[in-house]
Structure 1
């Protein structure tokens, strides 16, 4: 990979730039040194947090950051809801998830009435049995569609992996025999469409720690992919892959 030909870097966050509240030093240092050299953006599939909290967190690590640098499944989700004119949904998400949708789409209703035409499942850190039951009942109606923000099975944490949206989706598949028709986060390229409209794929690099989301999205978009071993994946995961990452590094401190 010729880094001199790159114009845009896209960084995953959890497990790539930091683990919990602990910065991954080599990668954070690379970002600080290259903010003026490259157009750097940050991408998270985690829909449980306020996007402004990511800005604050990265600024606290010495990264000169603003909200337009953030990419999240919430953004194309809200765009799609608006473009289709959907009036009522049943969201499976926490308070931050609901607040984002209310701010973007003040006329969108949340409920389980006959007018509800869609169940949207996100990373719900406030998940209850009632939410699972209501959403499963809705998904037994053939007129109700099924979307999800992202397919990650687990969310990394300093104490170990935690169940994420992909784990919830496995429950729905068992309970109502349905999979989401549309997923907005990695490995879908919907989440990076604004950047693909500005740069050629060969000018872009995706940096992440997950093979089944970060790597696959990069391949789907035609970007180079740098796997960092600071999060979920290990070198033992690499043999047998159909396609190897462009680079495999402990962190981006090894990239000059």
Structure 2
């Protein structure tokens, strides 16, 4: 069944790369996908970068990409905010790149505590400072506004281990405000549905590949497609014993997946 797959929805951090370093086998896998007339789309929950920033990053990896190669949690959140709130004002805790991405989709965003704010949104913010945290806590405690976040990931893989991700930032805020946000990114099945609609491939032709069970694999399961976990990021083989998110396949790395599917 693996050899019937044409659309590959891949996580980035911990799946095909760690920081600025590609994981072995990634380029070979991407070339294989192109050789069979398939399509790869990167479905990342990392909201620190816009799609334009990711294009620049992947050009340095020598991976062929364009704007259709990415469905990020930033992109999905921007669409959600625009469709839900139109031109109403949104308070943002996030990186400059994330804020620019929201503005690119005509979302009316601010980092100030304006009177007409209707929603607060949190992204994975590697530019975080305590003032940002204080501001959003004040808004959520003193105003009757909605609360949204890009993704529930607790950690982000790096070359040295892990760093706190959006889910951890929201947990910290949650201890103060006693609220949890609506998470827009994976495991929300909307991410898979957006990719299927964009490409025209069927669910049977689609494979979600990632290193997290509770976001990547859960997203594929929720979207009704096959999944493959790799053990180069957060998930371990031991985790498979007790998880409710059982992947269709498991591989030590993207290289092992490539060797299984291409030969």
TM-score range, shorter chain: over 0.9
For residue 210 of structure 2, the aligned residue among 203, 208, 229 is: 208
Q: How does 1:135-150 map to 2 (within 5 A)?
A: 135-141=136-142, 143-150=144-151
Indicate if the aligned counterparts of 2:77 and 2:185 stay in contact, CA closer than 8 A: no
Q: How does 1:9-20 map to 2 (within 5 A)?
A: 9-20=8-19
Q: CA deviation at 1:60?
A: 2.6
Indicate if the aligned counterparts of 1:71 and 1:192 stay in contact, CA closer than 8 A: no
User: Which residue number corresponds to residue 228 of structure 1?
Assistant: 230
User: Which residue number corresponds to residue 23 of structure 2?
Assistant: 24
Q: Given the superposition, is the C-alpha separation of residues 108 and 7 from structure 1 closer, same or farther in structure 2, using an over 3 Å criterion?
A: same
What secondary structure, in the 3-state scheme, does the structure 1 residue paired with 2:158 have? Answer: coil
User: Which residue number corresponds to residue 8 of structure 1?
Assistant: 7
For residues 108 and 240 of structure 1, what CA distance do their matches in structure 2 show?
Answer: 41
User: Which residue number corresponds to residue 253 of structure 1?
Assistant: 255
Indicate if the aligned counterparts of 1:208 and 1:214 stay in contact, CA closer than 8 A: yes
Q: Given the superposition, is the C-alpha separation of residues 54 and 128 from structure 1 closer, same or farther in structure 2, using an over 3 Å criterion?
A: same
User: Which residue number corresponds to residue 159 of structure 2?
Assistant: 158
Indicate if the aligned counterparts of 1:86 and 1:108 stay in contact, CA closer than 8 A: no
User: Which residue number corresponds to residue 57 of structure 1?
Assistant: 57
What secondary structure, in the 3-state scheme, does the structure 1 residue paired with 2:185 have? Answer: coil
Indicate if the aligned counterparts of 1:91 and 1:121 stay in contact, CA closer than 8 A: yes
Q: CA deviation at 1:54?
A: 2.0
Indicate if the aligned counterparts of 1:209 and 1:232 stay in contact, CA closer than 8 A: yes
Q: Given the superposition, is the C-alpha separation of residues 163 and 23 from structure 1 closer, same or farther in structure 2, using an over 3 Å criterion?
A: same
Q: CA deviation at 1:252?
A: 2.9
Q: CA deviation at 1:243?
A: 4.9
Q: CA deviation at 1:122?
A: 0.3
Provide TM-score, normalisation by structure 2.
0.90
Q: CA deviation at 1:101?
A: 1.6
Q: CA deviation at 1:139?
A: 0.6
Q: CA deviation at 1:4?
A: 3.5
Q: CA deviation at 1:48?
A: 0.8
Q: CA deviation at 1:94?
A: 1.3
> Gaps spanning 5+ residues in structure 1: where?
none
Q: Given the superposition, is the C-alpha separation of residues 93 and 107 from structure 1 closer, same or farther in structure 2, using an over 3 Å criterion?
A: closer
Indicate if the aligned counterparts of 1:207 and 1:225 stay in contact, CA closer than 8 A: yes
Q: CA deviation at 1:86?
A: 4.1
Q: CA deviation at 1:62?
A: 2.7
Q: How many residues align?
A: 254
The reply on whether 1:103 has 2:72 as its aligned counterpart is: no
Provide TM-score, normalisation by structure 1.
0.92
Q: CA deviation at 1:56?
A: 2.6
Q: CA deviation at 1:109?
A: 4.4
What secondary structure, in the 3-state scheme, does the structure 2 residue paired with 1:81 have? Answer: helix
Q: CA deviation at 1:76?
A: 2.1
Greater mean deviation of Cα atoms: 192-201 or 167-176: 192-201
Q: CA deviation at 1:145?
A: 0.5
